[in-house]
Amino acid sequence: MEKKYINFCLCGDNNFIIPITVAITSILTNIDKSRIARFFLLTTGFSDKEINTILKLKKKYNFEVVNIPVENYINLFDKIDITKCKIPYVSLATYYRFLMFKILPEDVDKCFYIDGDMIVDTDLSIIYDNLTEDKLAFAVVEPLAMQHRKSILSHCYELEYFKNFKNDCLKYPYIQAGFFLINLKKAKEKNIFEQLIDFITICPNTPYVDQDVINAVIGQQYSDLINYLEPSYNVFCNMDYKQPFNDAFYSEEIITKSFKNPKIYHYGGEWKPWNTTLTMHHYDVWWKYLKLSPYRKMKNPKKKIIGVMENDRYRVYKIFFMRISIKK
As a whole number of angstroms, the distance between CA 56 and CA 212 comes to: 36
Whether residue 317 is predicted with pLDDT greater than 50 in this model: the reply is: no
Asked whether residue 238 carries a pLDDT value surpassing 60, the answer given is yes
DSSP conformational letter for 72: G
What Cα–Cα distance (Å) separates residue 314 from each residue in 16, 69, 198?
26, 39, 40
The whole-angstrom separation of Cα 64 and Cα 132 is: 24
SS3 242: coil
pLDDT at 87 over 80: no
Among residues 282, 281, 280, 288, the alpha carbon closest in space to that of 312 is found at: 280
CB 100 within 8 A of CB 9: yes
Cβ neighbours of residue 259 closer than 8 Å, sequence gap 6 or more: 231, 235, 241, 281
Question: What's the pTM?
Answer: 0.91
The answer to whether residues 193 and 102 touch, using CB atoms and an 8 Å cutoff, is: yes
Domain ranges of the chain: 5-323
Q: Given this model, what pLDDT does residue 83 score?
A: 79
Q: What is the pLDDT of residues 251-284, one digit of tens each?
A: 999 999 999 999 999 999 888 999 988 888 999 9
Max Cα–Cα distance, the chain, nearest Å: 60
The CATH code of the domain at 5-323 is 3.90.550.10
Residue 312 banded pLDDT, cuts 50, 70, 90 = very low
Backbone angles phi, psi at 200, to 5 degrees: -70, -15
At a CB cut-off of 8 Å and minimum separation 6, what does 70 contact?
42, 43, 44, 96, 99
Q: If you average pLDDT over residues 208-236, what whole number do you get? A: 97
Q: Which of 45-59, 101-115, 311-325 has the lowest mean pLDDT?
A: 311-325
